[in-house]
Structure 1
Amino acid sequence: MTRLERSLAAYGAYHRDRRNVATHLVGIPMIFLAVVVLLSRPAWDVGVPVTPAILFAPGAGLFYLRLDLRFGAVMALLLALCCGAGLALAARGTAVWLGWGAGLFVAGWVIQFIGHAFEGRKPAFFDDLKSLLIGPLFVVAELAFLLGLRREVQAAIRH
């Protein structure tokens, strides 16, 4: 198994119930976007806006690219789109920026914990903090599998 397959298989072991997976397809993108939005302040103007989110994104993108080039490219694109949305929301008033960031974050986690109630198992990050980064990749992989893509990865992690 590749590192990607091992990571997805370990994360997937906590997500066998289809209802839990469905909640993750909604909750994780909300949390992912929320974290980027919340990290989009403060902004320093050095010719281009620089924020904690923009400083964090290349490292996260590299993490995903090292696991898998194709999934990593999708994750890097999603990070860039989230950074754009984060900058747009952070440029608005504090109430808008914080409302969207905190609102998405709380709602996303509520959805996640509902899913784990269906699963009857604690979230993966309770045992391995790295799963907080694997979760968004899991969503991308699950969507790819639903589209009939990356069957070799799907077969390897669901042996």
Structure 2
Amino acid sequence: MTKLEQLLSQYAAYHLDHKNILTHFVGIPLIVFAIVCLTARAGLMLSGIELTLALVILIASSVYYLSLDRIFGLVMLIIYAIAYPFAYKIAQLDTSLWLSLSVGIFVVGWIFQFVGHFYEKKKPAFMDDVIGLAIGPLFVLAEMVFMLGFRKDLEQRLLEHARVLRAEMDSKAISAPSH
């Protein structure tokens, strides 16, 4: 099993309900966009180019995604390249408007996430493993790719392993002593 398969399977174990996955199609992009908006204001000029914290985060996450899977990594890089200019524009707004928009988008994104986990009846993956915060956007992309009918072999392997992991989680929850 590749590292990509391992990480996506672990994340998918918390996301087997279709309604939860659909809420993540809205929630995760909103959260990521809000983080980019919030961090696009912090930066410094290097040789006439403004290097923002958002760019550093997006580049680092793209490199990480590329290391896991070239196709998914390239698609994420393209998505980030499209989203960044919009986030940067928001970051240039008046401070109160920038913060209101960014925090508002962030909160709405998390509302979608928690509604989805209500359907799933499982806590978000990052509560057990912080890497879930980085894998969430990649999971959404993978699910979209699967819905479009691509990489079905990968989807099947992920689902099989995710169901095993979910069964293990559920059996641990049942056998855990109550206080």
Structure-1-length-normalised TM-score:
0.95
State the AA in 1 paired with 2:18: R
Residue deviations 1:74-117 (CA, integer Å, cap 9, x gap): 11122222321221111221123212210110110011011111
Gaps of 5+ in 2: 161-179
Alignment map for 1:30-49 (pairs within 5 Å): 30-46=30-46, 47-49=48-50
Partner of 1:67: 68
Q: C-alpha root-mean-square deviation of aligned residues, in Å? A: 1.1
Q: 1:102-121 counterparts in 2 under 5 A? A: 102-121=103-122
Identity %: 42
Residue 77 (structure 1) aligned with residue 83 (structure 2): no
Counterpart code for 1:88: K
TM-score by length of 2: 0.85
Equivalents in 2 of 1:90, 1:126: separation in Å? 29
SS of alignment partner, residue 158 of structure 1? helix
> Computing the radius of gyration over CA atoms, which structure comes out larger, 1 or 2?
2
Pairing of 1:1-159 with structure 2 (within 5 A): 1-46=1-46, 47-159=48-160
Asked if the contact 1:37/1:82 (under 8 Å) is kept, the reply is no
Per-residue Cα deviation, 1:122-152 (whole angstroms, up to 9, x for no partner): 1000000001010000100010011111112
Question: How far apart in 2 are the matches of 1:105 and 1:67?
Answer: 27
